[in-house]
Amino acid sequence: MVFQLRISTLVLLGQFLLNATSSPLIIGGNDIFDQEFLASFPSSPNSIHNNGQSDTIFPTENSHTESESESTTYPSCPLPQTSHVPPDVAGLSIPLPEYIADCDDSLPSSNSNNNKGEGNPTFLALRVGTTFRNTAAGSNISLSIDWWDHLSETKPIYPDFPLSAAGLPRVTLFGYVEPFPAPLDGETERALEKCFLHAHPDAEAWAPNNKDSPHASFWARMVVTQAYWIGGFGDVQQIGWLDVNNWKGIRRDHSLPGVGDGRGWKDVRLPGEKE
């Protein structure tokens, strides 16, 4: 299954912020998510995303990895003398595209990582990859995902206004990478392979069980701790930080008690989204 990143979750959260009133939420003087705008998103299918842009930090001599939110601690790991990374980039960020999939709720119920779909992306990580070398050295990670590839399927935001990617949703997730425990039990590994390779069939070439893989790989997930949402143009769409408990509390078919009105993220459709 592809990572159904649930940008539609954020549309739904925008409606929750209205607290069931007809008054729009005001942020910085702009009307955010009025009822007419929300009505333009009919109920039904979910948004589908299977890649995003990750950002990590190259390690420095003073790299330190512990934080209150981390459940996995890595040792401090400065750039080694044999590294091909220029010393001048130590401490700088690097954005790189990564394959992602939504596999948490595909895991066996007995697996501790099965959280019934909190929105934590799954990675098939390469140990040689820069993103995962940086996270192993202690870097946190952000992951940016947008709806811009669907521009041609949308309608103008305003009358007589050209199609504009700037008016479409995007979100940046913040968190840390948590490797799955190794060795994995067979049932969990099969579940991850089925889910991830459905989204990325070519990734079978470097899957952990592939003896012909050119690189060592491992299963990991990004634990989301914060989310920043840009719905598009600020006069009609929400922009700002989300309550991460709401992000985690909206599931595919429903919302957890105390989150929203009970609907799930598949009940909201994005601009131009097809059934």
The pair of three-digit structure tokens given for residue 73, joined into one six-digit string: 């601690």
Longest dimension (CA), the chain: 62
Provide the pLDDT for residue 132. Answer: 95
Task: Give the residue ranges of the chain where pLDDT is below 50.
Answer: 1-4, 15-47, 64-76
- pLDDT on residue 36: 29
pLDDT value of residue 116: 67
**Domain 7-80+89-267 CATH assignment equals 3.30.365.10:** no
Q: What are phi and psi of 89, to 5 degrees?
A: -90, -5
pLDDT for res 196: 95
Instruction: Write the pLDDT tens digit of every residue in 230-249.
Output: 888 888 888 888 888 888 88
- Say whether 151 sits in a helix, a strand or coil: helix
d(CA 69, CA 80): 27
Cβ neighbours of residue 117 closer than 8 Å, sequence gap 6 or more:
102, 104, 105, 251, 252
User: Which tens digits make up the pLDDT trace of 13-52?
Assistant: 554 443 433 333 333 323 333 332 332 322 222 235 688 9
Three-state DSSP state, 194: helix
Nearest residue to 13 (alpha-carbon basis) of 186, 221, 244? 244
DSSP letter string, 179-191 = EPPSSPPHHHHHH
- pLDDT, position 76: 44
**Strand 217-230 to strand 51-57: parallel, antiparallel, or no bridges (unpaired)?**
unpaired
Residue pointed to by tokens 């709720």 = 105
Q: How far is CA 226 from CA 98, 105, 115, 175, 241, in A?
A: 19, 20, 17, 7, 8
Question: Which pLDDT does position 113 carry in this prediction?
Answer: 60
Tell me the whole-structure pTM to 2 decimals. 0.78
Residue whose C-alpha is closest to residue 141's, from 109, 179, 113, 110 = 179
Q: Where are the beta strands (DSSP E) in 193-235?
A: 217-230
Per DSSP, the three-state class of 164 is: coil
